[in-house]
Amino acid sequence: MPLTITNARILTLAQPGPAEARRRAAMRDLGVIERGHVRIDEGEIVAVGAGDPQGASEGEVIDAGGSVLMPAFVDCHTHCCWAGDRFDEFEMSLAGASYLKILKSGGGIMSTVRSVRAAGEEDLLNLLLRRLAAMAALGTGTVEIKSGYGLNPEAELKMLRTIHAATRQTTQTVVGTFLGAHAIDPDNPNYIEQTINETLPAVAAEFPDITVDAFCEQGAWSLEDTRRLFENARDMGCPLRVHTDQFNSLGMTRLAVEMGAVSVDHLEAITPKDLEHLARSKTIGVILPAAGFHLDGRYAPARSLIDAGGAVAIATNYNPGSAPTPSMPFIVALACRKLRLSPAEAITAATYNAACVLGLQYSVGSIEVGKRADLQLLDSSDERELAFEFATPGPLVVIVNGEVVHMRAVGREEN
């Protein structure tokens, strides 16, 4: 059924120019229509304009009452397909154990690997669908989900098939990424060679053109092994992304830029020289402030990266170890406080620029005719409130692919 939203402050995020991640001042231009309407039909935006719509509106009408209507979030970096929990390790970390120390002792990512290997596909899918529903209620229309808790051909394929199965059971857009290079499996002396020579080809055969990711870090993948994996992946036509400079700078950011990676993710420990190099490239920096909030209070220098002309996106990193949050509104609030982004920059980083990371900027991330109708109506007439408040229940209304997937009851008085 067609749907029209009227009387809204619309952040279109539409801008002339190439469909590339926005930088510098363009990040602060939200393409605002002060009071306007959006028409949706068959999942697509068919009209966007100032004032009231022309003629009678067919179908359902939502009067926004002056509230902000903006694109649904694009969460471009998550690990939200997992089983088990790491609550014991949370208590260890509260008592002072570091993330890398827990990983080195066979816990951390490896602990979730054991749980995921033991889980049945149906259980894994149900856990994932519950998390996707929580993310939708918080305004997220598109979710990237990494494998990386399997670490052998069977279990990695099991994760990617589960992620693919989720696409049929949610209206959200779900994008799978192969992260077979996520930790070093201490029980498999052949793990690195197996990942490069067996797991990667098996995954690329079943999921052609899938993006390949790696965790390049002390105690995880070395620079040289990541390079070998990426060379093979690139030869298979797979785009590259990498977890780099999270705790230590190993030279991966520069190598990723040279290899034409779509994004470099984390960057808490990036050097000033690498930051300059990255800012001059097409590679997008994906900043994940929930990890600093949850683990150790370290944050990436996102302000410097934007000021140097770099392209920046932000994401939840939703996972059971370093970032246990489904909430993009919380990430926007953190990005303003801890990364020193302005509210407008954080909104662009969480929508349009995040869509660019996934190559989806032609279908999501802005409110424009012909795009998928993924929208959210905030409980405010000023988008700065999204950044100012934190730990909120999220938007009033969330529309994904033209369907209202979430509507929050509010105690407004009827006259």
Residues that bind ligand NIG (CB under 6 A): 79, 108-109, 112, 215, 243, 246, 291, 317, 319-323
Burial class (CB in 10 A: 0-12, 13-18, 19+), 273: exposed
Identity of the residue, 319 or 366, whose beta carbon is nearer to ligand NIG in the bound complex: 319
Identity of the residue, 142 or 317, whose beta carbon is nearer to ligand NIG in the bound complex: 317
Q: How far is the CB of 259 from ligand NIG (least distance, A)?
A: 19
Spell out the residues 6+ positions from residue 92 whose beta carbon is closer than 8 angstroms to its own: 102, 107
**CA-atom Rg of the chain in angstroms:** 21
Spell out the residues 6+ positions from residue 203 whose beta carbon is closer than 8 angstroms to its own: 147, 153, 156, 157, 160, 178, 180, 210
* DSSP H or E segment with residue 286: strand 284-287
Closest CA to 260 of 244, 274, 240: 240
Q: Which amino acid is at 17?
A: G
Q: How far is the CB of 138 from ligand NIG (least distance, A)?
A: 19
Q: How far is the CB of 294 from ligand NIG (least distance, A)?
A: 9
124: which DSSP letter?
A: H
Quickly tell me which residue has 């995880």 as its tokens. Answer: 220
Bridge partners of 317? none
Q: How far is the CB of 210 from ligand NIG (least distance, A)?
A: 18
Q: How far is the CB of 42 from ligand NIG (least distance, A)?
A: 37
Identity of the residue, 195 or 317, whose beta carbon is nearer to ligand NIG in the bound complex: 317
* Crossing angle between the packed helical segments 153-167 and 109-118, to the nearest 10 degrees: 80
Q: How far is the CB of 312 from ligand NIG (least distance, A)?
A: 17
Identity of the residue, 4 or 111, whose beta carbon is nearer to ligand NIG in the bound complex: 111
Identity of the residue, 82 or 402, whose beta carbon is nearer to ligand NIG in the bound complex: 82
Q: How far is the CB of 146 from ligand NIG (least distance, A)?
A: 8
Identity of the residue, 317 or 376, whose beta carbon is nearer to ligand NIG in the bound complex: 317
User: How do 312-314 and 284-287 pair as beta strands?
Assistant: parallel
Identity of the residue, 150 or 321, whose beta carbon is nearer to ligand NIG in the bound complex: 321
Identity of the residue, 279 or 291, whose beta carbon is nearer to ligand NIG in the bound complex: 291
Do the Cβ atoms of 343 and 387 come closer than 8 Å? Answer: yes
Q: How far is the CB of 113 from ligand NIG (least distance, A)?
A: 9
Residue with the CB atom nearest ligand NIG in the bound state = 321
Do the Cβ atoms of 250 and 216 come closer than 8 Å? Answer: yes
Q: How far is the CB of 243 from ligand NIG (least distance, A)?
A: 5
Identity of the residue, 321 or 343, whose beta carbon is nearer to ligand NIG in the bound complex: 321
Bridge partners of 372? 44
Identity of the residue, 76 or 375, whose beta carbon is nearer to ligand NIG in the bound complex: 76
Tokens at residue 374, please?
Answer: 């993924």
Quickly tell me which residue has 């390949």 as its tokens. Answer: 212
What whole-number distance in Å separates Cα of residue 150 and Cα of residue 66? Answer: 47
Do the Cβ atoms of 33 and 12 come closer than 8 Å? Answer: yes
Q: Which amino acid is at 250?
A: L
Nearest 5 degrees, angle CA 326-CA 302-CA 288? Answer: 20
Q: How far is the CB of 320 from ligand NIG (least distance, A)?
A: 6
Closest CA to 347 of 50, 134, 71, 45: 71
CA-based diameter of the chain, in Å? 71
